[in-house]
Amino acid sequence: MEAARRRGGLSLLITAGIVLVLDRVTKLWAERALPDHPRDLIDGVVGFRYTTNSGGAFSLGDRAPIVFAIAAIVVCAAIAITSFRARPMAHAIALGLVLGGAAGNLIDRIVRGSGLSGRVVDFIDLHVWPVFNIADASIVVGALLLVFLSIRDGAAARDRSPAEPDG
């Protein structure tokens, strides 16, 4: 396998692994430390409060947990299958963020309910936004990074293409 593809694939998988470990460790901590003891880090701005939800990121779509579980399976499979395709490092890291986050929330759904309908642990409370977790944040950051990279790459491709003749 070509060295660049190997580096990109390993970067993707290492990023996903780091996100998954951070997500699991912080959720286990939240389950044990926060249920009866929410904590404000900055009063009225950010704190830790244990809650669970059956929906997607930021508690959206709480009546369709199976839809989010299936979406997570599809996303994880697609990223894993294509993980060693040639791609720039930034794209690999962004996909790793999405993969790690999707896997983290999928594990919650599997271990905290019957089938794929379990609830996801959330604990980061910004007081003006639904409570979320490391997995949610990683998915959002990874997706936003992919959008940014796509826009940037599209602009760079347009700059490289020859000018069209005036009609």
Q: Which residues are catalytic?
A: 122, 136
Place of tokens 């904590």: 39
Q: Which residues lie closer than 8 Å to 152 by C-beta, 6 or more apart?
A: none
d(CA 19, CA 13): 10
Place of tokens 């910004």: 126
* Sheet with strand 39-42: strands edge to edge: 39-42, 46-53, 120-125
d(CA 51, CA 125): 10
Q: What are phi and psi of 85, to 5 degrees?
A: -75, 150
What are the distances in angstroms from CA 160 to CA 25, 81, 157? Answer: 45, 31, 5
